[in-house]
Amino acid sequence: MHARNGIDYRLLVDLDHGTVDRRIFFAGDIYETELRRIFARAWNFMCHESQIPNPGDFFLNFIGEDSVIATRDRDGNLQVLLNTCRHRGNAVCRAELGHATSFMCTYHGWTYDLEGKLIGVPGYKNAMLTGQCDTAQPYAPMISRSRPPE
């Protein structure tokens, strides 16, 4: 099976001897293909529900190279948010796990609630009232299930 990058992946795995070619672990073109064909197209396991039992509990994980926050909002619903501030792309959560009432970018202080909605911009009181700056988008609603690639 040749991928778009021209690699025949069948030649990299020897089923008879149970060996795998080392290129699978470090080749950039294989890595890019995996990001595109596996992580970007399928559900990814984030964490088990028991790791974030209470509203405000969170767990940091990755989908490919994207840092995401698995959390429970105030109503106890599971949320998965991109761990990035829309303003400058800075991470809004630096701890691997814990409890929070909101997530704040350390660059300029933009603050997001547990559903990913922008709730604070220093110096812009109307942004919180109008919701016009609602910028963080939930990444995926399910955190403990996976879906096979289509």
Residue 34 token pair? 């995996």
Overall average pLDDT of the 45-73 stretch? 93
Instruction: Name residue, tokens 């795995």.
Output: 13
pLDDT bin (cut points 50, 70, 90) of residue 150 is very low
Residue 149 has pLDDT above 60, yes or no: no
Identify whether the C-beta of residue 92 lies closer than 8 Å to the C-beta of residue 84: yes
0.75 exceeded by pTM: no
Overall average pLDDT of the 132-137 stretch? 40
Task: With CA atoms as reference, report the closest residue to 110 among 129, 132, 77, 135.
Answer: 135
Say what the pLDDT of residue 142 is. Answer: 39
Percent of the chain with pLDDT over 70: 79
Residue 136 has pLDDT above 80, yes or no: no
Identify whether the C-beta of residue 101 lies closer than 8 Å to the C-beta of residue 141: no
Whole-number average pLDDT of the chain: 82
